[in-house]
């Protein structure tokens, strides 16, 4: 968090731009993307045009902006990019569980984990018969 210098494309463009450091530009980008996120929901058409912002476009924008903002906060503000790799590995450790929960519970309506494919569920019949 604001301790070490990092290197990369983003840094080569923004670090030092206008006499400001990478954290300032990360902050500005986060603000702009948030504005974009709110505007995508607020406007039905692209301002000044008749082009409709469809539900799927809004959905894609929300996910896309979320990823960009998440990366900006984790990589620069939380400084995962400049810190030793072990912190990134620690941060990624629960990802498997999170994905399992999102897939096994969140996206498995209506059966949840009971309706998962056969190849990843225990042999219940065998268990019951035994």
Partner 1 sequence: MSGGEAHVENSIWMRAVLIGGVFLAIGILAFATMGVGVANVKHHDYEEAILEYEDAKYAYEDAKASNASDAEIATLKEAKEEAHHHEVEAHLSYLTWRTAGITILLMCITYAAFIGLGGFLNSIAPSGDDAHDNHGYGGDDHEHHGSGSPIIFALGIMLFLMGFPSFQSVLGNMLSGTDFALGDLGVSMLGLVVITAGVANWWREDLPFIGNGEQIATSAPFEGQHIRKAGLWVFIMSEVMVFATFFSSYLRMRTEWCTDWQVQAGNCAEVNMLTASDFLRPNGGTLDGLGGQGDFMTLLPGAINTFALIISSYTIVLALKTANSKDWTAPTGMMGKIMPDQKTAVRNYLIATFLLGSMFIVLKLIEWSHLVAEGFTIGTQAGSIFYISTGAHGLHVFIGLLVMLYLIFKADTVGYDEKNGQGIEYFGLYWHFVDLAWVVIFPAFYLY
Tell me how far apart the alpha carbons of residues 80 and 21 are, in angstroms, rounded to a whole number.
17
How is residue 104 annotated by DSSP?
A: I
Of 93, 114, 115, 124, which one interacts with partner 1 (CB under 8 A)?
93
Of 9, 55, 120, 127, which one interacts with partner 1 (CB under 8 A)?
55
Contact 100, 107 (CB under 8 A): no
User: Residues with Cβ < 8 Å from 40, sequence gap 6 or more?
Assistant: 53, 57, 58, 61, 62, 65
Q: Does 18 bind partner 1 (CB under 8 A)?
A: no
Name the residues that contact partner 1, by CB under 8 A.
1-3, 21, 23-24, 27, 30-31, 34, 37-38, 40-42, 44, 55-56, 58-59, 62-63, 65-66, 69-70, 73-74, 77-78, 84, 86-87, 89-91, 93-94, 97-98, 101-102, 104-110, 112
């Amino acid at each position: 968090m604001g301790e070490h210098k990092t290197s990369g494309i983003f840094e080569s463009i923004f670090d030092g731009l206008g006499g400001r450091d990478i954290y300032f530009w990360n902050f500005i980008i986060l603000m702009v993307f948030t504005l974009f996120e709110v505007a995508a929901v607020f406007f039905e058409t692209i301002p000044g045009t008749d082009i409709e912002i469809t539900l799927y476009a809004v959905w894609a924008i929300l996910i896309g902006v979320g990823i960009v903002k998440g990366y900006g906060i984790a990589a620069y503000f939380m400084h995962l990019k400049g810190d030793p790799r072990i912190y990134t590995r620690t941060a990624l450790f629960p990802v498997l569980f999170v994905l399992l929960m999102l897939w096994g519970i969140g996206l498995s309506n209506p059966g949840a984990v009971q309706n998962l494919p056969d190849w990843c569920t225990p042999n219940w019949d065998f268990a019951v018969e035994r």
